[in-house]
Amino acid sequence: MKNVISTDKAPAAIGPYSQAIEVNGMVYTSGIIPVVPATGEIPEGSVAQAKQALTNLSHLLEAAGTSMANVVKTTVFIKEMNDFAAINEVYATFFEGAYPARSCVEVARLPKDVMLEIEAIATK
């Protein structure tokens, strides 16, 4: 059985999808962008946007009853590969111990013209 996960501490879905789905003890998130949920604002710069997106992801995982410590896979979509190193520095601070498996790809454009989007798969 699929369980829909949602929280107002992460950006609301802007289309026909759920923020996250839990099934068989696994949580699958949709792509999370760096929108400040309370204001709708988007921080300036890749470092601030990476921090906000990962904070949003952390809140969504908490709503699902899990945490960043249980993330096994992420996919990071970035607008500019030249920001890879700066985003990596922020990313590393959100995980302890073994880092999750990860894919990172440069894309032409993201929703709301943000600089990155991140999705995750976590265990419960």
Q: What pLDDT sits at residue 44?
A: 97
Range of the domain at 22: 3-123
Domain count for the chain: 1
Q: What pLDDT sits at residue 14?
A: 84
**CATH number of the domain encompassing residue 99:** 3.30.1330.40
Asked if 115 contacts 78 with a C-beta cutoff of 8 angstroms, the reply is: yes
Query: How far is the C-alpha of 83 from the C-alpha of 124, rounded, in Å?
Result: 31
Q: What pLDDT sits at residue 86?
A: 97
**Beta strand 3-5 with 26-29: parallel, antiparallel or unpaired?**
unpaired
pLDDT in tens, the chain (124 residues): 999 999 999 999 889 999 999 999 999 999 999 999 999 999 999 999 999 999 999 999 999 999 999 999 999 999 999 999 999 999 999 998 899 999 999 999 999 999 999 999 999 9
Which positions are annotated as active-site residues?
Answer: 104
**Where does residue 73 fall: left (phi above 0), alpha (psi -120 to 50 degrees), or beta otherwise?**
beta
